[in-house]
Structure 1
Amino acid sequence: MADRSLLILAAACAGAAAVYVAWGLQGPYGFILSLRATRLAALAIVGASVGAATVIFQTITANRLLTPGIVGFDSLFVLIQTLLVLGLGGMGYAALPAFPKFLVEILCLCAVAVALFASVLRAGSSDMTRLVLTGVILGVLMRGLTGFVQRLLDPTEFALAQAATFASFNSIDPVQVAFAAPILILALLLAWRLSPVLDVALLGRDGARSLGVDHERLTMAALAVVAMLVATSTAVAGPVTFLGLLAASLAAAALPHWRHAVLIPGAALTGALILIVGQFLFERLLGLQSTLPAIVESLGGLVFLVMVLKRRTA
């Protein structure tokens, strides 16, 4: 049953991708197909990365209300963009080669994420209050530093920094997509290798250790994969905080299964499907009258509030 549901999700993603690429296609075909294929790849990479990362993060933290995006990834990304504009200037930032910029963002996001997770969770995944508070405080600190740095920019540089800090799929660099795809594939393979042990981790720290699982080592390995996935998606399109929660919740509803070999690809496919269908609706049918990340964030935040209220009344 679970395999059939995964096949349905995969078929839905393939169908949505085909419709997105072929809808209203007119000449010049080569240029338009290249543009749409690049944007489609970015949508799939971001959706799959965030969806899979959220499932792993929720298992390790033993909390279905959390998503990696709430622990400061978006604030760090905004700070990195602002510092690059300050250091290089508007012209230098605009002329920055795509690969070095992408590499710096990936390395910074991964390094800070692993350092944060390692320091906060070294006592075990049950210390979730400290994780959330640490992430929120670091996010506030980085937003404050960003605001201070932005005051040092001239109006043109400020506008450039602002534009670079919002999630967008309208101007995707194909070089970034080409480098992000192998990272996504590697991270998903690592997640698939960890899926049997993640199943045991559902029993909790003590239960997993009683079955011979090195819980601390599993936690760090899983969080390293989460850092790779979230850093990749953020570097490609910018921060989308609540997309992962939306994708993981819908995947859990569509695939009522506890095996991570099913949940992780299910959440990845669901995240990709949400972005592809959403971008098609806004781009083809609504004429870009709104922005997809804003709607996704609103829906994800609403899902978060519903889950919190349901848990409080349970």
Structure 2
Amino acid sequence: MAEARRSRRPTLVLAALTLLAIVAVAAFMTLGARGSWDFVIPFRGRRLLVLVTVAYAVAVSTVLFQTATANRILTPSIMGFDALFVLVRTLVVAFFGTGMLVAFDPHARFLLDVALMVGFSFALFRWLFAGEERSLHRLVLVGIVFGILFRSLSTFIQRLLDPNAFQVLQDTLFASFSGVDTTLLGISLVLVGAVSLVLWRIGHCFDILSLGRATAIGLGVDYRRSVMTILVAVSVLVAVSTALVGPITFFGLLVASLARALLGESRHRVLLPAAVLLAVVALVGGQTVLERVFAFDTALSIIVEFLGGLVFLILVIRGAVR
């Protein structure tokens, strides 16, 4: 009986999360709607697609990064992606002024942000990930060092800025789910779709990779190639989500940890959908509540990061205790 309940648990969890996601989407599209539906549906629909795209990118990238690194308390931001994004924006303001930051074509700025973050990660992966047993750990450590370096440079340059320029810069460095440029949706969907296709082709390796390097190689998996593919795909997904809404540090850790806790297992065929559905419920449902119920549409990123930070501390403390 217990075994039967355990086998049905993933199906029930996915069904419940799917229902919650549908309710969140329906509420986002209809709650508080005024005026013509011909305007409301396309306007909210584009914002909804942006939120779903970000939720998908963050959830998938975090789960697969944890799989590749065999560590459940790491997130892709540990590699310095967010810090590089902040440094690039700071350098633009420092050398060209706030006018360039505001007047720069959104599509060109989006592609530049994505290209820089992906280029940095790819160079780092090619440099350090050489197939040795400890190379992946060295990769993570070097990524942490680069992240600290980027943050330190950003802080130093920001102290030299004019107060008005600093205020304009600060407004662009915090994740915002309400003021997203929906014209970037097409490019984002193309990039996320291409990465998803690549990941789908190697999806059969995910569960094997989670068993560890030696086991994966023993079972015939091309470990270096598979992990390299995952890391590059993760960098693209993180770059897209960061360029769309801004840096998000702990949101992926939050949904990945909750998905594992609800499912009670780590098979990727159920873990990935569960994490994505949780992310959709959190972003779409949270944004709906803050906008329609509390009429306060700027605090979702703060709440999400706060909860994600708590989960991170809990995981670290539990690991230390054990």
- Tell me, yes or no, if structure 1 residue 194 matches structure 2 residue 202: yes
How do 1:133-152 and structure 2 match up within 5 A?
Answer: 133-152=141-160
Task: Please say which of residues 67-76 and 126-135 is displaced more in the overlay.
Answer: 126-135
Q: CA deviation at 1:177?
A: 1.9
Q: Check 1:232–1:161 CA distance in 2 against 1; reply closer, same or farther (3 A cut).
A: same
Match of 2:283 among 256, 275, 279: 275
Match of 1:86 among 90, 94, 97: 94
**SS in structure 2 of the partner of residue 113 of structure 1:** helix
Q: Check 1:221–1:94 CA distance in 2 against 1; reply closer, same or farther (3 A cut).
A: same
Which amino acid is 1:52 matched to? V
Within 1, Cα distance between the matches of 2:129 and 2:317? 26
Q: Check 1:289–1:212 CA distance in 2 against 1; reply closer, same or farther (3 A cut).
A: closer
Within 1, Cα distance between the matches of 2:305 and 2:160? 30
Q: CA deviation at 1:87?
A: 3.9
- The answer on whether the counterparts of 1:38 and 1:174 sit within 8 Å (CA) in structure 2 is yes
Within 2, Cα distance between the matches of 1:125 and 1:249? 26
Within 1, Cα distance between the matches of 2:48 and 2:195? 20
**SS in structure 1 of the partner of residue 248 of structure 2:** coil
Within 2, Cα distance between the matches of 1:313 and 1:51? 27
- Tell me, yes or no, if structure 1 residue 14 matches structure 2 residue 22: yes
Within 2, Cα distance between the matches of 1:74 and 1:282? 25
How do 1:206-217 and structure 2 match up within 5 A?
Answer: 206-217=214-225
- The answer on whether the counterparts of 1:62 and 1:125 sit within 8 Å (CA) in structure 2 is no
- The answer on whether the counterparts of 1:90 and 1:156 sit within 8 Å (CA) in structure 2 is no
2:266 is matched with which residue? 258
Within 2, Cα distance between the matches of 1:117 and 1:4? 39
How do 1:4-43 and structure 2 match up within 5 A?
Answer: 5-43=13-51
2:192 is matched with which residue? 184
- The answer on whether the counterparts of 1:192 and 1:261 sit within 8 Å (CA) in structure 2 is no
- Tell me, yes or no, if structure 1 residue 50 matches structure 2 residue 58: yes
- Tell me, yes or no, if structure 1 residue 100 matches structure 2 residue 108: yes
**SS in structure 2 of the partner of residue 167 of structure 1:** coil
Q: CA deviation at 1:128?
A: 5.9
Which amino acid is 1:11 matched to? L
1:149-206 deviations in Å (ceiling 9; x for gaps):
3344333322221111110012111111221122222222322222211111122111
Q: Check 1:126–1:303 CA distance in 2 against 1; reply closer, same or farther (3 A cut).
A: farther
1:227-255 deviations in Å (ceiling 9; x for gaps):
11111110100011000101101111223
2:182 is matched with which residue? 174
- The answer on whether the counterparts of 2:59 and 2:276 sit within 8 Å (CA) in structure 1 is yes
Q: Check 1:263–1:41 CA distance in 2 against 1; reply closer, same or farther (3 A cut).
A: same
Task: Please say which of residues 239-248 and 278-287 is displaced more in the overlay.
Answer: 278-287
Within 2, Cα distance between the matches of 1:118 and 1:270? 33
Task: Please say which of residues 84-93 and 121-130 is displaced more in the overlay.
Answer: 121-130
Task: Please say which of residues 299-308 and 76-85 is displaced more in the overlay.
Answer: 76-85
CA RMSD of aligned residues (A): 2.1
Within 1, Cα distance between the matches of 2:133 and 2:199? 18
Which amino acid is 2:71 matched to? N
Match of 2:164 among 151, 156, 165: 156
- Tell me, yes or no, if structure 1 residue 113 matches structure 2 residue 121: yes
Task: Please say which of residues 117-126 and 206-215 is displaced more in the overlay.
Answer: 117-126
Task: Please say which of residues 38-47 and 198-207 is displaced more in the overlay.
Answer: 38-47
> Which TM-score applies when normalising by structure 2?
0.90
> Which TM-score applies when normalising by structure 1?
0.92
Which amino acid is 2:124 matched to? L
**SS in structure 2 of the partner of residue 192 of structure 1:** helix
Which amino acid is 1:40 matched to? L
1:57-103 deviations in Å (ceiling 9; x for gaps):
11110111111112211111111112222344222221211111110
